[in-house]
A = this chain, B = another copy of it.
Amino acid sequence: MADEDLRARLVRVGGELLDQEGIAAISLREIARRAGVSHGAPRRYFPTHLELLSAIAREGFTDFAARAEAALAAAPADPRAKLGVFARVYLDFAVERRGRYELMFRHDLLRSGYLGLRDISLPLFHLLTDLVAQARPSPSPPAIVAGALWANLHGLAELWNWGSLTLATGATDPDALLEATLTAHLGPPTSPPEATA
C-alpha cells in the first residue's frame, strides 16, 4: 500500500468513490481531490477522463471474473447447475455493486475501445458458451444461446436495478425472474430447487 503509485491510487480511490457515491460522483477532479493531488495530475497516467473510468471499469470486470470463478469452483459439476450459479453471481454483482455495474456497461465506455473488451469479457463469454454447450443440445448454436442468455441477464440486472420490474411485475426480489430466465434458455433445473429443503 505504501509503494502504491499514483496510477494505482487513482484507480483505487475512484473505485471507492464509485462504490460509495454512485456513478454521478466520479468526476476527474473529485477523484484527484480524494487522492490528494491536483486536478492535472491524473493526466500523466490517463490522458483522458474516459481512460481513467475505463481502468476503474476494468477493475470491476476482473473482480466479477474472480467472483464467478470462485463460485464455479465450489459449484456442483453439472453444467446446468454451474450456469445457475453463474447467473446468480452475475445478478448479485449487478445489484450489490450497482454503480460499478453501471460504469462497466456505459455505452460510451464500451464503444471507446479503451476497455480492451476483447481481453476481459470475451473469456467470460467463452466460459458461458462452453457451459451452454455442455448443458444442453439446442437447435441454436451454443454461442447464440449464450448470447441471448447474457443479454437476458444484462437486461434483468438493469431493469431490476432501476425498479422497472418491481413496478411492472410486483415482485419484491428478482429470484422468480432469474429462475424463469434460466429455465427459458436452458430448460428446467436438473435437480429441483426444493431438494435443499
Q: Which residues does A use to contact B, with CB under 8 Å?
A: 23-24, 102, 105, 107-108, 110-111, 117-118, 121-122, 125, 139-140, 143-148, 150-156, 158-165, 167-171, 176-177, 179-181, 183-185
A184 to B181, CA, bound (A): 9
Indicate if the CB atoms of B102 and A164 lie closer than 8 Å: no
Given known A145-B180, A176-B140, contact A164–B107 (CB-CB < 8 A): no
Q: Quick one: copies of this chain in the complex?
A: 2
Q: Is the interface of A mostly helix, strand, loop or mixed?
A: helix
A176 to B179, CA, bound (A): 23
Question: Which residues of B are found within 8 Å of A159, using beta-carbon distances?
Answer: 147, 150-151, 154
Distance in angstroms from A115 CB to nearest chain B CB is: 10
Question: Which residues of B are found within 8 Å of A110, using beta-carbon distances?
Answer: 162-164
Indicate if the CB atoms of B108 and A148 lie closer than 8 Å: no
Indicate if the CB atoms of B147 and A117 lie closer than 8 Å: no
Indicate if the CB atoms of A117 and B151 lie closer than 8 Å: no
Indicate if the CB atoms of A24 and B143 lie closer than 8 Å: no
Indicate if the CB atoms of A118 and B184 lie closer than 8 Å: no
Indicate if the CB atoms of A107 and B176 lie closer than 8 Å: no
A170 to B125, CA, bound (A): 12
Q: Identify which of B147, B148, B154, B167 contacts A158 (C-beta below 8 A).
A: B154
Q: Identify which of B111, B154, B164 contacts A121 (C-beta below 8 A).
A: B164
Indicate if the CB atoms of B161 and A107 lie closer than 8 Å: yes
Q: Identify which of B125, B145, B162 contacts A111 (C-beta below 8 A).
A: B162
Distance in angstroms from A150 CB to nearest chain B CB is: 7
Indicate if the CB atoms of A148 and B24 lie closer than 8 Å: no
Indicate if the CB atoms of A107 and B177 lie closer than 8 Å: no
Question: Which residues of B are found within 8 Å of A158, using beta-carbon distances?
Answer: 105, 107, 151, 154-155, 158
